[in-house]
């Protein structure tokens, strides 16, 4: 069984600000830091740091050295990462004094996937292999259809949610990991139980992890519902906290751990990521997560 994450890689430009600016306002930032990030890459790095071998597929641009180095440092397999001679995916992120962020995303090379490249990547994967996807690349509908034909188990983090997802056959998804905003965008409900029930009605072959920020997370498979509270920490930067949760949950599930264990590992890993700046650099190793869980007892 192999694990493929086909997703975005972004250079994150992170500006520390007093407050997140509103329309018409100009504000000085006190610091600029440049981190490797992107929902796809963050999740691959979380999987690798959790101890699960993962192939990342995607496209970087001329500014992609920092992203390739992040893969090397964390042990993410780069065999399916290509490079194009144009500007790559990047973000402008404001982080305020309360650790809240807001993100402007420029797709760049993340939006340049082709059918040929997708076919080339998926040719090496088959029945029972896992495919992890988010919504920061183009061709998602095609990737889902092809992977499903090959009987891969498709895991989707429908983030950021937009109309492109309407073109995807979400009935082919094995596991959804989503937050309450995405849950509302898909089902029209705000309440967590209504979201989970509506998701289970709409996608009866799937299971779901719904994250609720400081209110914890729920797993639901249409029958069993399991809750995991957060581990409270002083937040420094919430960027990649959700991706860390996603990567660690998937890693634990692939390793055959119980859902409760997987949720606990994911919540702990994500709490550590929140207490550190940046996207991929904030993601803890599995040893850090295990030690912190022992200390927490």
Do residues 91 and 76 touch, judged by C-beta distance below 8 A? no
Q: Mention every residue, 6+ apart, whose C-beta is less than 8 A from residue 177.
A: 155, 156, 157, 208, 209, 211, 245, 246, 249, 250
Q: Which of 12, 129, 180, 182 forms a contact with ligand RIB (CB under 6 A)? A: 12
Do residues 1 and 32 touch, judged by C-beta distance below 8 A? no
Stretch 217-256 residues interacting with ligand RIB (CB under 6 A): 239-240, 242-243
| Separation CA 161–CA 159 (nearest Å) | 5
Q: In terms of CB distance, is 40 or 207 closer to ligand RIB?
A: 40
110 binds ligand RIB per the rule CB under 6 A: no
Facing residues of 101 across strands? Answer: 95
Q: In terms of CB distance, is 38 or 218 closer to ligand RIB?
A: 38
Least separation in angstroms between CB 12 and ligand RIB: 5
Least separation in angstroms between CB 13 and ligand RIB: 10
Q: Residue with the closest Cβ to ligand RIB? A: 37
37 binds ligand RIB per the rule CB under 6 A: yes
Q: In terms of CB distance, is 62 or 123 closer to ligand RIB?
A: 62
Stretch 172-191 residues interacting with ligand RIB (CB under 6 A): none
Q: In terms of CB distance, is 13 or 148 closer to ligand RIB?
A: 13
Q: In terms of CB distance, is 39 or 207 closer to ligand RIB?
A: 39
Do residues 110 and 89 touch, judged by C-beta distance below 8 A? yes
Q: Which of 7, 39, 59, 125 forms a contact with ligand RIB (CB under 6 A)? A: 39
Q: In terms of CB distance, is 42 or 44 closer to ligand RIB?
A: 42
Least separation in angstroms between CB 213 and ligand RIB: 13
Given the rule CB under 6 A, which of 4-12, 14-22, 143-151, 170-178 is the region that contacts ligand RIB?
4-12
Q: Which of 5, 44, 77, 91 forms a contact with ligand RIB (CB under 6 A)? A: 91
Q: In terms of CB distance, is 52 or 137 closer to ligand RIB?
A: 137
61, two tokens: 């641009």
158 binds ligand RIB per the rule CB under 6 A: no
Site string for ligand RIB, 127-146 (x = CB under 6 A): ---------x----------
Q: In terms of CB distance, is 91 or 125 closer to ligand RIB?
A: 91
Binding site for ligand RIB (CB under 6 A): 8, 10, 12, 37-39, 42, 91, 103, 105, 136, 239-240, 242-243, 279
């Amino acid at each position: 069984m192999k694990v493929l994450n086909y997703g975005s890689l972004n250079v994150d430009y992170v500006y520390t600000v007093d407050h997140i600016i509103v329309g018409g306002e100009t504000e000085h930032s006190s610091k600029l830091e440049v981190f490797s990030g992107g929902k796809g890459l963050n999740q691959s790095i979380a999987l690798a740091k959790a101890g699960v071998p993962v192939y990342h597929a995607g496209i970087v641009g001329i500014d992609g050295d920092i992203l390739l180095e992040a893969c090397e440092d964390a042990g993410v397999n780069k065999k399916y990462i290509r490079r194009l001679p144009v500007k790559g995916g990047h973000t402008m992120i404001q982080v305020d004094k309360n650790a809240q962020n807001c993100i402007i995303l420029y797709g760049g090379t993340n939006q340049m996937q082709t059918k040929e490249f997708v076919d080339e990547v998926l040719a090496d994967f088959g029945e029972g292999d896992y495919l992890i996807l988010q919504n920061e690349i183009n061709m998602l509908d095609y990737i889902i259809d092809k992977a499903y034909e090959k009987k891969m188990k498709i895991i989707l983090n429908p983030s950021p949610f937009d109309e492109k997802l309407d073109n995807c056959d979400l009935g082919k998804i094995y596991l959804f990991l989503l937050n309450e905003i995405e849950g509302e965008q898909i089902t029209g409900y705000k309440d967590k139980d209504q979201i989970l029930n509506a998701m289970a009605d709409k996608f009866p072959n799937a299971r779901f992890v719904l994250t609720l920020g400081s209110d914890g997370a729920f797993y639901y498979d249409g029958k069993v519902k399991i809750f995991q509270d957060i581990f409270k920490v002083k937040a420094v930067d919430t960027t990649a906290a959700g991706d860390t949760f996603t990567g660690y949950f998937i890693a634990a599930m692939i390793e055959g751990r119980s859902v409760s264990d997987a949720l606990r590992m994911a919540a702990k890993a994500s709490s550590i990521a929140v207490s550190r700046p940046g996207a991929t650099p904030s993601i803890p190793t599995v040893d850090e997560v295990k030690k912190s869980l022992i200390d927490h007892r």
